[in-house]
Amino acid sequence: MKHKNSFLKRVWADVSLDDIKHNYSVIRGLTSPKTKIMAIVKADGYGHGAVQTSRVLSDMGADLFGVSNLDEARQLRHGGITVPILILGYTPYECAPELIEYDIMQTVYTYDAAKKFSDAAEWLGKKLTVHLKIDTGMSRLGMMYQDKKRDAGAIDEAVKIYSLPGLEFNGIFTHFAVADDDAAFTRRQFDLFMYFCNTLEGKGIDVGLRHCCNSAGLINYPDMHLDIVRPGIILYGLPPDNKLESIEKFDLRPAMELKTAISYIKEIDENTPVSYGRIYTAPKKVRLATLPIGYADGFSRIFSNGADVLINGCTASVVGRVCMDQCMVDVSNIEGVDTSSIVTIFGHDGEHFISACKIAEYLGTIGYEVICQIGKRVPRVYILNGHEAGYLNYIEGGIN
């Protein structure tokens, strides 16, 4: 196994599998033992590495995994994951043979698409396992059911879908749009969903496992946990709403830290311009450090002329434009800085900490985007039982 020092002159992300295990235990403690946990590992495990995080979560007892598409599902199967997997998004019906071959559950939400999946499965002499998705207020994917009177026909369509012979129904679900900040709308979504499920059951239909709670729903609405909860961002220790109080309350631990190291230090004189566009000119003599991280690594160009990083427990500000592969910071007031100094973009530096949520606020976005946009040329270095336990290098194409 290559040691993390292989990356110290570039950039890497430390991923604590210990913290992911801890977060899973916290989530398990917030739910009934009868409630299954569907760990959401789409988008490469929110940038942490889907296979590595899924292996740990599988060992912890995760009941199901949720992914966005067939490629992500196959990746987990090729990585040795045998736990049930649900594709939460769109899959062409022509892929039914692969869904069946890999034992992957598919979301359906229209009769026409469900019929095509059913026909394909029957032609193979098999059954395709599916979950029916109901749109109670997200207006994204799902059978539209946002108004009982206007959308009453959706129930009849659902009855037709449940009658399709090539499909095996494992579950039914909806997705909350504002479970982090609008209780009235969330309650309305839940009530619509439960009415839909109860109406189908009143017609003698076994709807399967019911689920609606994402991370925010899981934390804020324990009465809505139903048969399955779907934690995503909180598995990785970040809050769904950028408010750190919510993760501190439950002792959720951010699992990723983004690091780099100084590649060059020089002094520049007053009135010396820095980087593209000359948007920064030194107001006095400045000690300048170049960092080998840029927007191609996920360190946004928006950080130009203002964002802070941590070096030797002190803050250093980015000066000039962030480049594709590099950026510059002012280290004039930091002692002991040299080309061996580690730089923390987000994470811990001794007693000091920059959260991905603070980065998100600077960017005008959410923590989800910060961790998901870490580039694929950034190796992930895994920490397990307090020690380095391997790394993922996308460019080299290997897990070690």
Residue-wise pLDDT tens digits, 158-177: 999 999 999 999 999 999 99
Residues 168 and 314 in one domain: no
352 class by beta-carbon count within 10 Å (0-12 exposed, 13-18 middle, 19+ buried): middle
71 and 161: one domain?
A: yes
Inside any domain, residue 228:
yes
> 98: pLDDT confidence band, cut at 50, 70 and 90?
very high
Q: Are residues 218 and 111 in the same domain?
A: yes
- Mean pLDDT calculated for residue range 332-339: 94
Domain boundary among 235, 264, 280: 235
Q: What's the sign of the alpha-carbon dihedral 101, 107, 108, 113?
A: negative
Dump pLDDT digits (tens) for 131-157. Answer: 999 999 999 999 999 999 999 999 999
The token pair that represents 332 in the structure block? 């004039």
Q: How many domains does the chain have?
A: 2
Cα-based angle 264, 268, 274 (whole degrees, multiple of 5): 80
Cβ contacts of 147 within 8 Å, gap of 6 or more: none
Average pLDDT score over the chain? 94
In a domain, 20, yes or no: no
- The answer to whether 42 is a known catalytic residue is yes
Q: Which pLDDT does position 266 carry in this prediction?
A: 96
What is the CATH number for 175?
A: 3.20.20.10
Beta bridge partners of 260: 11, 343
Determine, yes or no, domain membership for 23. no
With CA atoms as reference, report the closest residue to 233 among 182, 300, 179, 184. 179
Q: Provide the percentage of residues in the chain whose pLDDT is more than 90.
A: 91
Please say if the pLDDT value at position 277 is more than 50: yes
Interatomic CA distance for residues 182 and 175, integer angstroms: 14
10 within a domain of the structure (yes/no): no
Residue from 264, 266, 276, 285 carrying the catalytic annotation: 276
The pLDDT value given to residue 207: 98
- What are the tens digits of pLDDT across the range 289-322? 999 999 999 999 999 998 999 999 999 999 999 9
Q: Which pair of structure tokens corresponds to residue 57?
A: 């979560």
Confirm whether 244 is domain-assigned.
no
> In the predicted model, is pLDDT for residue 342 greater than 50?
yes
Q: For residue 206, is pLDDT > 70?
A: yes
Confidence of residue 243 (pLDDT cuts 50, 70, 90): confident
Q: Are residues 195 and 276 in the same domain?
A: no
Counts of helices then strands in the chain (DSSP H, E):
12, 23
Q: What kind and span of H or E run contains 288?
A: strand 286-291
Verify that 199 and 294 share a domain, yes or no.
Answer: no
Same-domain pairing of 138 and 37: yes
- pLDDT of residue 3 exceeding 70: no
Residue-wise pLDDT tens digits, 352-399: 999 999 999 999 999 999 999 999 999 999 999 999 998 898 887 765
Residue 241 lies in a domain: no
What is the value of pTM for the model shown?
A: 0.94
pLDDT given for residue 400 in this prediction: 54
| Inside any domain, residue 371 | yes
Q: Same structural domain for residues 51 and 105?
A: yes
Residue-number span of the structural domain to which 337 is assigned: 256-399
- pLDDT score, position 314: 95
Structural domain ending residue among the three candidates 235, 264, 279: 235
Q: What is the pLDDT of residues 46-94, one digit of tens each?
A: 999 999 999 999 999 999 999 999 999 999 999 999 999 999 999 999 9
Same domain as 76, residue 187: yes
Q: What's the pLDDT score for residue 92?
A: 96
Of these residues, 21, 42, 116, 133, which one is catalytic? 42
Q: Is pLDDT at 329 greater than 60 in this prediction?
A: yes
Q: Answer with the one of 183, 200, 235 that is the final residue of a domain.
A: 235
74 plus 221 within the same structural domain: yes
> CATH number, domain at 351?
2.40.37.10
Same domain, residue pair 216 and 149: yes
DSSP symbol at 6: G
pLDDT at 8: 44
**Active site (annotated) includes residue 46:** no
76 belongs to a structural domain? yes
**Is a pLDDT exceeding 80 seen at residue 35?**
yes
| 70 and 142 belong to one structural domain | yes
281 and 379 belong to one structural domain: yes
